[in-house]
Each structure stands twice: as C-alpha cells, then as structure tokens.
Amino acid sequence: MFSRSFLAFVALTSLAACTTSTANTAAPVTHFKGVAYTFNTPMPIAGATISVAELPQFTTTTDANGYYDLSVEVTADTQKVTPFIVKTGFHTIYLQTFTLHPNDADLDHVHFQTPDDDTFFLLASLVGVGPKTTQCQVVTTSSDKVIQGMTYEQFRDHGAHGVAGVVATATPTLAKPIYFNSKVVPDPKLTESSDDGGILWTNVPPGEYVLHGTHATRKFADVTITCAPNRIVNANPPYGMHEIP
C-alpha cells in the first residue's frame, strides 16, 4: 500500500485539471470533494471558484457538472478550515468549519447548496434581514442518516433530507432560530424543525459557534461554524447537523 507521504507528493505534483495549488512542500494533503448546486433545485453550478477562508491560496473551479476537488495542505497551522464558493450571480456561501489532522481521510460529498442572488434576497426579506446588513447569517439542516454516503445523484433524487422535531441551540448562546417549513420557507411560528430540516439564525455576531440539535429519540452531530461580517454560512447536508447513526 502506498504511504500517506507518497500520496501527498502525488497530489501536490498532479496536473489534474480540477485542482490548483501554489504551495510547493510535501505537507500532508486533504481533498474536499463535492458538487455545487443551486438552492432548492438540482441544477449544478459550473465555473464556480472553491477555496477556504483560512488558506485562500488553495483554490479550484467546479466543472460542467458542478463537481470540484480541492486539495488543502494540512499543517499545525491549518487545523480549522472553512470552505467557501464564489460565482457571479450567486451569493457567496461558506460551509461549516472542519477540523483537520495530518492523517485524516479525504472529505467526500462536501456539497455547496448555493442560492442565486434573487433567491437569497427574497429569503432574506422574509426573515427581516435587510440588504445592507453587515452581520452573519447561519443556516444548517437537521438531516436524516439515510443520506450519509450517498452519491450526489442519489442525494439529489432522495427528496427532502430533513428530520422533523429537532430543536436547535448554539454555544455561545444565540437567539431562538427560525425553522423552514415543508415548503422550504422560513416560518417564525415553528418551534422545531419540519421534514425539510432547515434551521436559520439571523444577524449573528462574529465568532466561532457550535450548533446543537436535540430530538426526542434521535441524535445529531454538533456543528462548528465561524461567523464574520457579511458572511453567509450554510452548513448543509450531508454534513451540518446530520443524524448520527
């Protein structure tokens, strides 16, 4: 079996069309792989730039099917990594903050569920977020364990990914979140998740937070997110607040 260091060397010297890197060392590499698609549709987003907030020198571009493969060197200074997507006509979205270690396996199915600008501003107006806000908005999904390990095509065709009946909180404490109803619309009247699973915190101050999901009979993973001014965080399935098998 090839050693980890050999695989890292191959990854760093590869001329694969989907991944670029400016680094030139033999540090261990973790690959983020997934698909960028349009919020609430299966349409892929081609030609989007994928990078990480903490190490913007590592970057790649989604292909015609929305697929990307981003390699990131893992050192003592790069343990926390927040992937994000940029594409003209779409709102810039950050994922959750992942903690990496030198011997970690690659992270597959790290998808970006990205709203176009019109959809984002429509959703923002429904929950009272003004177009000039400089605060952070946070979304996650209480997702069903059945989607873990699915291919993107299986994930796309599965339908609603959520688990109803989840109550979400955060550490440090945030105000009560807004839950999305079964029609994928934020509904301030709801006190727990619907089968859509969408959960939203608006106007979150900068900082690092851990999101928690509580359910009467099921357990959910905690999620670390990093808020900064003007940042939209979407910790979406199959990661985010996913059910623990």
Peptide bond into 238 cis (omega under 30): yes
**69-124: pLDDT as tens digits:** 999 988 777 789 999 999 999 999 999 999 988 777 899 999 999 999 888 888 77
Which CATH number do you get for residue 33? 2.60.40.1120
> Average pLDDT of 33-60?
93
For Cα atoms 63, 118, 50, give the angle at the middle one, nearest 5 degrees: 30
pLDDT of residue 241: 97
Domain count, the chain: 2
pLDDT of residue 132: 59
> Would 125 be classed as within a structural domain?
yes
pLDDT of residue 135: 85
pLDDT of residue 79: 83
> Average pLDDT of 200-226?
97
Distance of CA 230 to the CA centre of its chain: 16
What φ, ψ does residue 119 adopt, rounded to 5°? -65, -40
Within this chain, do residues 123 and 21 fall inside the same structural domain, yes or no?
A: no
Within this chain, do residues 105 and 132 fall inside the same structural domain, yes or no?
A: no
Within this chain, do residues 179 and 190 fall inside the same structural domain, yes or no?
A: yes
163: domain range?
A: 117-235
> Would 19 be classed as within a structural domain?
yes
> Would 166 be classed as within a structural domain?
yes
**pTM of the predicted model as reported, rounded to 2 decimal places:** 0.84
